[in-house]
Amino acid sequence: MNKVITYSLFTDFDIALFKAGKHYRLYEKMGAHFAEVDGVKGVYFAVWAPTAHSVSVVGDFNYWTQGEHLLQVRWDSSGIWEGFIPNLDQGTLYKYKIESNNNGLVTEKADPFAFYCEKAPLTASVAWNLDYQWKDSNWMQSRKQHNDLTKPYSVYEVHLGSWKRKGSGNDFLSYIDFATDLVTYVLEMGFTHVEFMPVMEYPYDPSWGYQLVGYFAPTSRFGKPQDFMFLVDKLHQAGIGVILDWVPSHFPEDSHGLGFFDGSHLYEHPDRRKGYHPDWKSLVFNYGRNEVRSFLISNAFFWLQQYHIDGLRVDAVASMLYLDYSRKEGEWEANIFGGNENLETISFLREFNEAVYGNFEGIQTIAEESTSFPMVSKPTFVGGLGFGMKWMMGWMHDTLDYFQKDTIYRKFHQNDLTFSMQYAFSENFMLPLSHDEVVYGKKSIANRMPGDEWQKFANLRLLYGYMFAHPGTKLLFMGGEFGQSEEWNFQQSLDWHLLQYDYHKGIQNVIKDLNFLYKNQPALHEKQFEYDGFEWINYSDHDNAVISFMRHGLHPKNSLIIVCNFTPVIRHNYRIGLPNKMEIKEIFNSDALQYGGSNVLNTNELKTEKQAYDGRDFSVSLTLPPLAVVVFEIK
């Protein structure tokens, strides 16, 4: 006898939206939901499995027995199976046992909409409610101002499993631990936002979370769903925004995951040329299928609504956009116009951005897109993809290549450093120094710097100063803020003991002060995406390996003057041209003693002279410290 009671949360309108790919809050209907039917409490289950012959809910309540609790398929051809099982409580373990119409194949799957999962390597879903009393109303009401593109946006990228570990046992910190330790640290360092590498449930630690099975569940490695809410809440109460890495690009083939879910290619594209990623050996979503689009956009809505997330950084966008991405000739098929663009993906990304920006005030979406695909961060109504920002991968690669060169050769490569300004305002760019740059033999950022120990750290201070002075928002991977020496190892804590050494402490002080400078100087953020927010003074002094430029805010008096010396030679009486008569004062110098520098400073206010230079009528003579960036304000 079937022990499932006929019951539904779906209306006809829900089904129509689902079939059309326009139901963006499926998590309110799909999955496991606590309900009361005829005075009896229990759990309502709903799962999409259109190729199924039968669907059983199996779990710890029925000894994982198939056929004991059979769901019923809806009459409306939606492919949704549903039903109510009485007397199930919070914490019930369950899966779906799906017998397919395809040759009777049987799959056993975790719930794609589960709010909580067993701790890996266990794979069951957990019936769970998301009740929580939020205390971040001040943040949520003012979020639009914090997240505006004219405001400072300095992001600390964090991998929760390795930011810090507990004692000698190397155990994970919990979400509750992070709510104290991480919040305090980020506040002290002056970052405006935290970006978490994927927190959604994933089976395999070495994937760093980028191959997901539980799209609607924060990983149980660090605690319960409400514990993660508490962490977000505490960050918001401290005035810190929260960005999540979001992975709509691919998913793993693990047997309990989304792949071949009901005995058919349900979530993945059935054509292997579009549905399999050769680099990551993973499956690619079928972006042309309406129900899959609803699943993915509902997932974005879920984190923004249920967890008060402020932004989504969308992973691997380039792999989504191109049909020939990482594929050889003959391994891909052109679109209907003969091109290599994935038209279904482009349509999906536009719909995703329109939906989230249209429903959540003050959020941002950020594309990790490594090609020159046009108008990624332009509005959809002008033909763009609709993202708020795009990672500036070209800046990252060119700048790191330049900094790795011995200083004696830099004068031959200055164009590599200045090239980014030719396209800096074609998109709303975020400048990343991310986790991908400190793994797989690339070395840590600090150990890429040339020279002896003093020069290595001077170069690192200069790199960070140049990054914060360059137009665009900023992202720095954890450990970079104190000059982590070794490559990132996801299996252990960062090397916090390095902070006992002056050079590493000096790097930390530099980042603190750069964050302060970025937040408190309008010239560095008010026009960070606009052409007229930047002005070269001189980019062609190759022989001295020096560049100089101005950053402008909305008010003329908010302009800053930035000069970078990329050699270890002190430049006395170094002259730069300025547009008019003015007095300037040094407000940041990466060579200062508290940063580990040699303390070559411009201690007095400097006045321009009526002496033409750099194509301007006035000029001023400066002292440039070795391997340093100097910032001046106009008095």
Confidence of residue 311 (pLDDT cuts 50, 70, 90): very high
Residues 180-224 have pLDDT tens digits of: 999 999 999 999 999 999 999 999 999 999 999 999 999 999 999
Confidence of residue 170 (pLDDT cuts 50, 70, 90): confident
Residues 327-365 have pLDDT tens digits of: 999 899 999 999 999 999 999 999 999 999 999 999 999
Q: Where in the chain are the domains?
A: 12-126, 531-634
Q: Residue 183: which of 111, 252, 248, 238 has the closest Cα?
A: 238
Distance from C-alpha of 544 to C-alpha of 567, rounded to nearest angstrom? 7
Q: Residue 17: which of 305, 365, 353, 297 has the closest Cα?
A: 297
What percent of the chain has pLDDT above 90?
97
Distance from C-alpha of 377 to C-alpha of 391, rounded to nearest angstrom? 10
pLDDT higher than threshold 60 for residue 1: no
Distance from C-alpha of 218 to C-alpha of 221, rounded to nearest angstrom? 9
pLDDT of residue 23: 98
pLDDT higher than threshold 90 for residue 592: yes
pLDDT higher than threshold 90 for residue 630: yes
Active-site amino acid positions = 315, 368
Contact residues for 340 (Cβ-Cβ < 8 A; gap 6+):
322, 323, 324, 332, 334
Residues 16-44 have pLDDT tens digits of: 999 999 999 999 999 999 999 999 999 99
> Which pTM value belongs to this model?
0.97
Residues 393-408 have pLDDT tens digits of: 999 999 999 999 999 9
pLDDT of residue 104: 84
Asked, colleague to colleague, whether 12-126 and 531-634 share their fold, the answer is yes
- Residues forming a β-bridge with 66: none
Confidence of residue 168 (pLDDT cuts 50, 70, 90): confident
Report yes or no: 528 and 471 within 8 Å, Cβ to Cβ. Answer: yes
Under DSSP, the state recorded for 616 is: B
Residues 126-147 have pLDDT tens digits of: 999 999 999 999 999 999 999 9
Report yes or no: 256 and 322 within 8 Å, Cβ to Cβ. Answer: no
Rounded to the nearest 10 degrees, the angle between the axes of helix 502-520 and helix 453-469 is 10
Residues 99-110 have pLDDT tens digits of: 999 878 999 999
Lookup: tokens for 383: 């033909």
Topology of 12-126 in CATH?
Immunoglobulin-like (2.60.40)
Residue 31: is it exposed, middle or buried by C-beta count within 10 angstroms (0-12/13-18/19+)?
buried
Average pLDDT, rounded, for the chain: 96
pLDDT higher than threshold 80 for residue 169: no
Residue 7: HSE in the Cβ half-sphere, 13 Å Cα cutoff: 23
pLDDT of residue 11: 97
Confidence of residue 2 (pLDDT cuts 50, 70, 90): confident
Distance from C-alpha of 109 to C-alpha of 81, rounded to nearest angstrom? 14
Residues, the chain: 635
SS3 label, residue 50: coil
Lookup: tokens for 590: 């990466």
> In CATH terms, is domain 531-634 a member of 2.60.40.1180?
yes
Distance from C-alpha of 609 to C-alpha of 578, rounded to nearest angstrom? 9
Residues 271-287 have pLDDT tens digits of: 999 999 999 999 999 99
